[in-house]
Structure 1
Amino acid sequence: MSTEGLSIGISVGGPSAGAGTGTAERTRRRTGSRPRVLLRRETWAPLAIDAAAILLAALDVWLVVPEKAEPYSIYLSAFACLALAARRWLPFLVVLGTVPGFLTGWSQLAAMIALGMLATRKQTHWQVWVGAALVWACRFIQWPLSDFATLSWREHVLDGIYGVLVAGMPIAIGLLIGARAQLSQKLGELAASRDRERTLHADAVRAEERARLAREMHDVVSHDITLIAMQAGVLAATPDSERAQETAKVIRQLSTRTLEELRSLVGVLRSGAADDGPQPGIGELDQLVQGCEVPVQLTVDGVPEHLPAKVSAAAYRTVQECLTNVRKHAPGAAAKVYIVGTDGSLDLEVRNDGPRRPVTPLPSGGHGLTGLAERARLLGGSFETSPTEDGGFRVRASYPLHA
């Protein structure tokens, strides 16, 4: 973790905790108020439409009713207009209720509105065609019947044509509205099916990639680590040098432990389980510090007893990667590790001095810190790195305890 090759800053988590809380609160308020707005709209919009329909039907009757009209025809027309209030629940009965007013009075618009609602709800049901026949008959037949009998055949033909228009227009509009609703439903089902297919395809791709990674790790990395462990065992059996035997023992222990972790990881990749399985946590930091060959001052304060497994594993992996970087890029440097549990989060800081010995270039893909930043982001935390004034390096991470 020296300034060579690693003096980059990675910041994940965005704004501060206060800003994030305010944004979350504003989001919660917006999403929380939206259902109430929709509820009010769903409640009042149908009532407003029904009131407008009744008002238009009543206005149509009032504008054409003659001064010397029969009282019963006025009452039947008024009843036809008021019956529109129930057209959403009893559309066929409402059509039947508007027929007397249309036949003997002037509630033509009320009958057309009722027939349109019936066609919207029932589409091509037999009730729609019965209602259409009744409305056509009301427009074709004139009341009183004595006047209807005196009409010429030309007038009968014209009345029949007008009856087709009066009965056909609301049915056409109702069928169009119903077809649009069915089309919207089919489009929604198609979108849901496409999303499911996309999800299944993504799962298949991930499963194939996991299987490929598992094969590569097992065939290449596992083989090499096994050879290292075997060679370390041969070196330990050589009685030439006590120092060589001790070094071989350490190599054998590290390679054996790495091989076990690798086999566990291969098992997770092959199974495709969402859970990463048991991982080391903050409780194993003492063993990590003792075996890292880096002078480390470890301070742990205020950490809750029951820490979330993912947070504990993230803290362990962060310290592990930082100490590995110290060993690789700042040989001879000392490190300080601070882990503090605050209200609702776990804060971590790893700081090291500059290198005390010449740095030997080692292979490094540069993905370690990026992976730690990604892990912190997935947990909803933050991750920052920066060089220090004395030539060292500093890593800060914060993980919410509710992750």
Structure 2
Amino acid sequence: MRAQALLLDAALVGVTLLDVLVHVDADERSRTAIALLAAASLTLRRRLPWLTFLITLPATLVSDAVFATLVALYTLASLTRRRVPLACCALAVAASDITSWSWPDPDFADLTDPVGLITATYSLATAAAPVFLGQLVQARRELSLRITEISETRENERALLAQRVLAQERAELAREMHDVVSHQVSLIAVRAGVLQVGSRDPETKEAAATIRRLSVQTLDELRHMVGVLRAGGSRPTELTPQPSLTDLPRLVDTSGIEAELRTDLPEDLSPPVQRAVYRTVQEALTNVRKHAPGATATIHVHHHDGVVRATVTNTAPCRPALPLPGAHHGLISLRQRAELLGGTVVAGPSAEGGYELRLELPAERVLPTRRDA
């Protein structure tokens, strides 16, 4: 924009110099100097419009080179809202145009003569044109700004409406989770506790204890999620700490599956990579628990040549799986998470009759922070 403005000013100065060349005799040094000064002053028209107009006005008074004065008057009209001073400036330009100033005997136009009256009318119209044009440009500029403000206001209103609708949906979802899901998980925990206390079979007691522990953990997570949903974005809410590779042993130990964990990973992997590995192992163990009852699992997580690989393999199930509800979105979510990190997830039956899930991700490292002394 600044380059365009400079080019426009240079073009106006060039046209003004051409106007001076055509209408001012080079032998008349005083008039030529006044006209050239008026042309040079156009470079100040954006920053000092009133001063520019005052400098260009004498050129109209002493010569027929009026282009610089008209440009200065247009600039003044496009930048100010003061109508009375603008009208006075236009009258001053018209009066200077109809006056032929030759010191010491200035020649004023005779307004009683038809020719003089026509000349005065033409001069008034010539002076009024840049004023009207400048005011029109100013009105267009203000209208554009107003339209932009209205558009921004409407965008803000739409955003606020969307936030309000989202807050209502979050509150309704939180209410459903609290009234339905939390209640049912609480019943599972209670029944598991009763089974743990009343059963004499060690395996049954252990299974009931696992169910009760997982139910209690699920209730804690549900309560936190309900709190996050009820906050509705109105205030900052503390989120549950995200899992990392250090949480893998506890995940395997509390999975209720006989599983072997082998890891060989550096400690400076980025949090997204660590979360992706954790969620992959978690989803794989969940699938083993649901679809391969009695199976054992092997989890191997290692790093080689800048690639993190996580493999979860389970044996064939020992007994038929119970039909459990599911949305079948687990593997899809894992693949999407891996693709976002530049990796892949492959899952399918193994040669031994079990199932295998493999994750490969580029190993993004956490850069050490340097503190300047």
Distance 1:153 1:386, change over 3 A: farther
Shift, 1:382, TM fit: 4.3
Shift, 1:262, TM fit: 1.6
Superimposed CA distance per residue, residues 230-256 of structure 1 (whole angstroms, 9 cap, x where no aligned partner): 222222232543433333222222222
Query: Which of 34, 37, 43 lines up with 1:79 in the alignment?
Result: 37
Distance 1:245 1:376 in 2: 38
Q: Which amino acid aligns with 1:83?
A: S
* 2:323 aligned with 1:361: yes
Shift, 1:131, TM fit: 2.0
Shift, 1:395, TM fit: 3.9
Contact 2:24–2:31 (CA<8 Å) still a contact in 1?
no
Q: Which amino acid aligns with 2:361?
A: S
Distance 1:244 1:396, change over 3 A: closer
Greater Cα offset, 250-259 or 91-100: 250-259
Distance 1:350 1:274 in 2: 35
Q: Which amino acid aligns with 1:160?
A: A
Greater Cα offset, 253-262 or 97-106: 253-262
Residue in 2 aligned with 1:3? none
Q: Secondary structure at the match of 2:256?
A: coil
Q: Secondary structure at the match of 1:365?
A: coil
Q: Secondary structure at the match of 2:18?
A: helix
Query: Which of 291, 301, 311 lines up with 1:338 in the alignment?
Result: 301
Residue in 1 aligned with 2:239? 276
Distance 1:143 1:275 in 2: 82
Shift, 1:84, TM fit: 1.2
Distance 1:51 1:102, change over 3 A: same
Residue in 1 aligned with 2:248? 285
How many pairs align?
357
Query: Which of 339, 344, 351 lines up with 2:312 in the alignment?
Result: 351
Shift, 1:154, TM fit: 0.9
Q: Which amino acid aligns with 1:228?
A: I
Q: Which amino acid aligns with 1:326?
A: V
Structure 1: gaps of 5 or more residues: 1-40
Q: Secondary structure at the match of 1:51?
A: helix
Distance 1:382 1:123, change over 3 A: farther
Q: Which amino acid aligns with 1:128?
A: L
Residue in 2 aligned with 1:113? 71
Residue in 2 aligned with 1:6? none
Q: Aligned ranges for residues 4-403 of structure 1 at < 5 Å?
A: 42=2, 44-66=3-25, 70-144=28-102, 147-148=107-108, 153-272=113-232, 273=236, 275-304=238-267, 308=271, 312-331=274-293, 332=295, 334-340=297-303, 347-353=308-314, 355-357=316-318, 358-373=320-335, 382-387=343-348, 390=351, 392-396=355-359, 398=361, 400=364
Distance 2:49 2:106 in 1: 32
Q: Secondary structure at the match of 1:336?
A: strand
Contact 1:330–1:355 (CA<8 Å) still a contact in 2?
yes
Q: Secondary structure at the match of 1:292?
A: coil
Distance 2:296 2:200 in 1: 31
Distance 1:234 1:388 in 2: 38
Contact 1:92–1:131 (CA<8 Å) still a contact in 2?
no
Q: Which amino acid aligns with 1:250?
A: T
Shift, 1:173, TM fit: 1.9
Distance 2:128 2:335 in 1: 67
Distance 1:342 1:190, change over 3 A: farther
With the length of structure 2 as denominator, give the TM-score of the two structures. Answer: 0.83
Structure 2: gaps of 5 or more residues: 368-373
Shift, 1:53, TM fit: 0.6
Q: Secondary structure at the match of 2:194?
A: helix
RMSD over aligned Cα, in angstroms?
3.0
Superimposed CA distance per residue, residues 23-77 of structure 1 (whole angstroms, 9 cap, x where no aligned partner): xxxxxxxxxxxxxxxxxx52x322221111111011012123357x643222222
Distance 1:125 1:397 in 2: 73
Q: Which amino acid aligns with 2:212?
A: R
Contact 2:262–2:300 (CA<8 Å) still a contact in 1?
yes
Distance 2:347 2:154 in 1: 45
Q: Which has the higher contact order (CA 8 A, sep 6+)?
A: 1
Distance 2:158 2:346 in 1: 37
Shift, 1:306, TM fit: 8.2
Distance 1:182 1:368 in 2: 55
